[in-house]
Amino acid sequence: MKTAHDVIVIGLGGMGSATACHLAARGHRVLGLERFGPAHNRGSSHGGSRVTRQSYFEDPAYVPLLLRSYELFEKLERDTGRDIVTLCGGLMLGRPDSRTVAGSRRSAEQWGLPHEMLDAGEVRRRFPTFTPADDEVALYEGRAGFVRPEATVTAHVQLALQAGADLRFEEPVTRWEVLPGGRGVRVHTADDVYTAGHLVVCPGAWAPRLLADLGVRFTVERQVMYWFQPEGGTAAFDPRRHPVYVWEDTGGVQVYGFPAIDGPQDGAKVAFFRKGTVCDPETIDRTVHDDEVAAMAAQLRPRIPALPGRLRKAVTCMYTTTADEHFVLARHPEHPEAVTVACGFSGHGFKFVPVVGEIAADLALHGTTEHPIALFDPLRNELRQSATEPEETTT
């Protein structure tokens, strides 16, 4: 058994690497354990880009956390010299009463966020790659853009190591336990056993296995990200001309996408939001099939006609989703003295990575945080009710 640390962090993806960074920066002895290598592509924190936005249709309660996250992303860039965030503007498109448009407008108006409401004609004039229907509108937010997930994880790992954290990769955790009387934790890996005063569990898609006693049902979903070569080239999709976007159709299906951020060799990235299939992280099908590509192209063709040209590449990732699509971020209700959990980020969490790291460090060290996180309580009714419902089976 290894010498005790102050805090052990399980998982060094987006949330775990940020947590280890914040803990180490505060002078604590941190051990980080990750089943894969640094900034790997086997979970959720990869794919070259993630949308960031402040006019948040999921719930206005997220906005204060987003404002802090923007500050911390800027600090991360200054501290590491890495290119992490690009604010190229963003469009939230759909019918005026759609969740994407109405919810974004509600958050923007409640928090006084700068934004513009555009009718279909104005969207077509200002952003000619988009062809919305006459009855569609858009909220434009100049402070929206994209975050680089691999660069973010690498930057947090870099700073954590510089601050003295002991980060161990390719060392999967098999189980953990709270010591008698709640006086610390013991963590078992494939290689060794470690102890610490506190544990932070940031397991991503492995939440159902490592947090089985939490009483929360997590659904792990396979998602696909696509990069298309636009017809006529990528000039019209340059980040100086083409914003990030989330577009909701009349059936409630959302597509999100990006400008051509890495030049003509990769094209422009797009994906469905919440249209995945249930999977297991160990056996996920990582092959992208022709019918999936065809479905994505069909969704794009009437909206961004130049985009569904030649497919350049497609890769899978995973969402770990809760019943109400909100996060779980709190002290573990069964082990509040020894364990903090950060999980269930439901496909919209990466833009919060640095502030989640700050919050998880607060909770691990003090049991509380000044940030508003009541929405993420694992004991909330929406999660407890879903945990008692019969579990769906898949074949």
- Residues 6 and 12: beta-carbon distance below 8 Å: no
**What's the rounded Cα separation, in Å, for the pair 144 and 137?**
17
* Confidence bin at 4 (pLDDT 50/70/90): confident
**What's the rounded Cα separation, in Å, for the pair 184 and 305?**
57
The residue ranking higher by pLDDT, 3 or 371, is 371
Cα dihedral across residues 209, 214, 217, 221: positive or negative: negative
- The per-residue pLDDT for range 144-165, each reduced to its tens digit, is 999 999 999 999 999 999 999 9
**What's the rounded Cα separation, in Å, for the pair 49 and 227?**
11
Residue 241 has pLDDT above 90, yes or no: yes
Q: What is the mean pLDDT of residues 245-271?
A: 94
**Domain residue spans in the chain?**
5-45+150-215+324-386, 87-146+219-322
pTM for this model (two decimals): 0.96
The reported pLDDT for the residue numbered 394 is: 41
What is the torsion angle, in degrees rounded to the nearest 10, for the CA atoms of residue 233, residue 238, residue 244 and residue 245? -40
The reported pLDDT for the residue numbered 390 is: 56
Residue 41 has pLDDT above 90, yes or no: yes
Residue 386 has pLDDT above 70, yes or no: no
The reported pLDDT for the residue numbered 393 is: 42
- Residues 55 and 140: beta-carbon distance below 8 Å: no
Q: What is the mean pLDDT of residues 194-216?
A: 97
Q: What is the mean pLDDT of residues 371-392?
A: 82
The reported pLDDT for the residue numbered 388 is: 58
Of 3.40.50.300, 3.30.9.10, 1.10.3720.10, 3.40.50.80, the CATH number of 87-146+219-322 is 3.30.9.10
* Confidence bin at 182 (pLDDT 50/70/90): confident
User: 356 is written with which tokens?
Assistant: 């989640």
The reported pLDDT for the residue numbered 3 is: 57
If you average pLDDT over every residue of the chain, what do you get? 95
Instruction: Give the ranges where 58-145 is alpha helix by DSSP (H).
Output: 63-80, 99-111, 120-126
**What's the rounded Cα separation, in Å, for the pair 36 and 226?**
24
- Which CATH architecture best describes the domain 5-45+150-215+324-386? 3-Layer(bba) Sandwich (3.50)
